[in-house]
Chains A and B, each alone.
Chain A
Amino acid sequence: MAAPVKQNKLIRWIDHRLPVFTLMEHELNEYPTPKNLNYWWNFGSLAGIMLVIMIFTGVFLAMAYTPQKDLAFDSVERIMREVNYGWLMRYIHMNGASFFFIVTYIHIFRGLYYGSYKTPRELLWMLGVVILLLMMATAFMGYVLPWGQMSYWGATVITNLFSAVPVVGNAIVTWLWGGFVVDNPTLNRFFALHYLLPFVIVGVVMLHLAALHQHGSNNPLGIDRKGPQDSIPFHPYYTIKDLFGLGVFLLFYAAFVFFWPNLLGDPANYIPANPLQTPPEIVPEWYFLPFYAILRSVPNKLLGVVMMFGSIFILFLLPWLDTSRVRSATFRPIYKWFFFVLIVDCVALGIVGAHRPEGIWVVIGRIATAYYYFHFLLMMPFVGWFERPRPLPTSISSAVLKGGGRLAGAGATMEKP
């Protein structure tokens, strides 16, 4: 391993004692990657970059923010008006949460389409679901910090869900709040946790990457690499591709930060929290709407809570719910269509979540919720079982030479499980 960097004496000295340079060389530079990754594979690195951006801007916000109920709202306004570039930090952070979720959701659907959760990547996938849960907790608690009307009432509604737990429900809620209503102790602990959890996410991301590098990336064909002709080194091929993707992504992100910074937010959060006045409508941020829709579609409160959380926890079981041995949906003529219907279903749930549970919205919400569970619990095991997959190409290079996965090779072999 003759890394060029090691010609420097100092670097050699350090590397001999602490092999960080060897590690970097191994994991970033030489790290062999399938040569046929498409642009959907950009979203993983984008999510990592978003995490860094959130931590960076968050730390600067925390320097000027006051987690006290009578001062929190004003301190955020002071950040906006008096702190140098405070408006920039806050708008990057505020819209960053939305873009972090956009990127992560796309990343997850990528995994769903190309079967990236299947053996040997089950733990990699499950660590990803853990990251999603941590992100949701972080974003929820962050939204409480500016202590606007939606912060306060959102916190009240969501924490109240735990009161549905039999017997100990109310005790749990009191414990979460640190009192008998959402109040100063709630704000204090949410700030402490909002500061902490992103660093926990960093830890889980490291495990996620360790698991990834064990077997390398999946790819659009979903077949294993058969030899060096199927791989290219990560650097420079994917570093430049990720960089280009980052540029395109930042163009969208910057447009929101600088030109429409409040479009994704709720105006009511610019009204200071008022425990005596319930806003006409309590709506969570857009990235929680599908889950909110599931919650409100179920007539029983406890069952609603269980189904809402279940909609994420079900992802942990995915590697075993999907009985097909073929990874990529490209070769699964039936599953493929169910995948697109699932996307429509999730979008529908999001729209339902933004509406009062009345009239037609209740009906759509119930159908969409039922369909969500149908997809994972029934469709996945059964389709995998009776579907006849199209023949797989013999190798990545053979498919690439023939112009992509659509032209499957003649001598098809099933991939090794």
Chain B
Amino acid sequence: MRKLVLAVAGAAALGLGAAWAQEASQPLPDEHWSFDGIFGTYDRAELQRGFQVYTQVCAACHALEHLLYADLGGPNGLGYSEAEVKAIAAQAQVTDGPNDQGEMFQRPGRPSDPFARPFANDKAARAANNGALPPDLSLIVKAREGGPQYVYGVLTGYREPPPGVKMGQGMNYNLQFPGHQIAMPQPLRDDSVTYADGTKATLQQEAHDVVAFLTWASEPTMEPRKRTGVKVFLFLLVATVCAYVVKRRIWASVH
């Protein structure tokens, strides 16, 4: 009984502390994701669609600073072949140099290049966005309370402002965003993109796909992490049971 009280108190300290530190102001959507749970994986088709949404819509304002084009290929990538990755990278123009004449020059992107950024610097980004800074998206899912649910909520949360609510200049009403006034104009609507794989591009579909892509972008190593985790866990379980059996036998003679 005493032990139980102690265990419960310990768990409560930990759990409540963590949970209460993170009170969300707005209820989060309840989307289901392929990467949920300890066996969850990324759905490659979904990631590719999400990448299309990012490239055709979000990339106009948001960078993905921590990604290289090469990240799109390989076992932890989006399922593109090496040639496809090369072709995607080559669509970007990259400033390189200086060359032997001491001059900077433009060349097509290579897989080893980081993703092209929409703006040269933060000032340029603000100037183009009414003074607001579009944040880098490569960690956005990890950097917000609620993660993918929250980002999905923002993308699908645009509404007409309720009567009586005074909107700031250039602000848009959003159910999910704290304070409900967001500087980002509604980025996605039905048919904002035409999917290469023929999927019907509803707002919900686009939002779901791009959030899946951004979740991957925030942690491309999630799949090996969970896979390793299952193996480690099983190993520990067996080892612990063995240790318990041995312990019982060794201690059997102690009175």
Say yes or no: is A257 at the interface (Cβ < 8 Å to chain B). yes
Contact partner of B13 (CB less than 8 A), chosen from A240, A248, A350, is A350
Is B142 a contact partner of A354 (Cβ separation < 8 A)?
Answer: no
For window 73-130 of A, CB contacts with B under 8 Å fall at: 74, 77, 80-81, 87-88, 91, 102, 105-106, 109
Q: Which residues of A contact B22 (CB under 8 A)?
A: 266-267
**With the chains together, A264 CA to B233 CA distance in Å?**
20
Q: Which of B2-10, B80-88, B189-197 contacts A (4 or more CB under 8 A)?
A: B2-10
Shortest distance between the CB of A346 and any CB in chain B (Å):
7
Is A240 a contact partner of B221 (Cβ separation < 8 A)?
Answer: no
Say yes or no: is B21 at the interface (Cβ < 8 Å to chain A). yes
* Count, chain A residues at interface, CB 8 A: 55
Is A343 a contact partner of B9 (Cβ separation < 8 A)?
Answer: yes
Shortest distance between the CB of A384 and any CB in chain B (Å):
20
For window 126-148 of B, CB contacts with A under 8 Å fall at: 135, 138-139, 142-145, 147
Is B229 a contact partner of A267 (Cβ separation < 8 A)?
Answer: no
Interface of B is mostly: helix
**With the chains together, A212 CA to B165 CA distance in Å?**
67
Is A351 a contact partner of B10 (Cβ separation < 8 A)?
Answer: no
Q: Which of B48-56, B97-105, B239-247 contacts A (4 or more CB under 8 A)?
A: B239-247
Say yes or no: is A169 at the interface (Cβ < 8 Å to chain B). no
Q: Which residues of B contact A344 (CB under 8 A)?
A: 9
Q: Which residues of A contact B138 (CB under 8 A)?
A: 77
Q: Which residues of A contact B224 (CB under 8 A)?
A: 87
Say yes or no: is B255 at the interface (Cβ < 8 Å to chain A). yes
Contact partner of B233 (CB less than 8 A), chosen from A81, A246, A258, is A258
Contact partner of B21 (CB less than 8 A), chosen from A246, A354, A401, is A354
Contact partner of B142 (CB less than 8 A), chosen from A241, A247, A270, is A270
Say yes or no: is B120 at the interface (Cβ < 8 Å to chain A). no
Contact partner of B228 (CB less than 8 A), chosen from A258, A263, A270, is A258
Is A232 a contact partner of B13 (Cβ separation < 8 A)?
Answer: no
Q: Which residues of B contact A400 (CB under 8 A)?
A: 255
Is B13 a contact partner of A347 (Cβ separation < 8 A)?
Answer: yes
Is B20 a contact partner of A351 (Cβ separation < 8 A)?
Answer: yes
Q: Which residues of A contact B65 (CB under 8 A)?
A: 74
**With the chains together, A283 CA to B18 CA distance in Å?**
11
Q: Which residues of A contact B18 (CB under 8 A)?
A: 263-264, 286
Say yes or no: is B167 at the interface (Cβ < 8 Å to chain A). no
Name which residue of chain A comes closest to B238, CB basis: A247
**With the chains together, A241 CA to B38 CA distance in Å?**
30
**With the chains together, A250 CA to B71 CA distance in Å?**
32
Say yes or no: is B219 at the interface (Cβ < 8 Å to chain A). yes
Is A247 a contact partner of B16 (Cβ separation < 8 A)?
Answer: no
Is A247 a contact partner of B233 (Cβ separation < 8 A)?
Answer: no
Is A80 a contact partner of B250 (Cβ separation < 8 A)?
Answer: no
Q: Which residues of A contact B244 (CB under 8 A)?
A: 244, 247
Knowing A237-B250, A255-B233, A259-B229 are in contact, say whether A351-B243 is a contact too (CB < 8 A): no
Q: Which residues of B contact A354 (CB under 8 A)?
A: 16-17, 20-21
Is A347 a contact partner of B16 (Cβ separation < 8 A)?
Answer: yes
Is A259 a contact partner of B232 (Cβ separation < 8 A)?
Answer: no
Q: Which residues of A contact B20 (CB under 8 A)?
A: 351, 354-355
Name which residue of chain B comes closest to A109, CB basis: B6
Q: Which residues of A contact B144 (CB under 8 A)?
A: 267
Q: Which residues of B contact A261 (CB under 8 A)?
A: 225
Q: Which residues of B contact A240 (CB under 8 A)?
A: 243, 246-247, 250-251
Is B38 a contact partner of A259 (Cβ separation < 8 A)?
Answer: yes
- 24 interchain pairs (CB within 8 A)? A77-B139, A88-B225, A102-B14, A237-B250, A240-B250, A246-B243, A247-B239, A247-B243, A254-B236, A258-B230, A258-B233, A261-B225, A264-B18, A266-B22, A286-B21, A340-B2, A343-B5, A347-B12, A347-B16, A350-B13, A350-B17, A354-B17, A354-B20, A400-B255
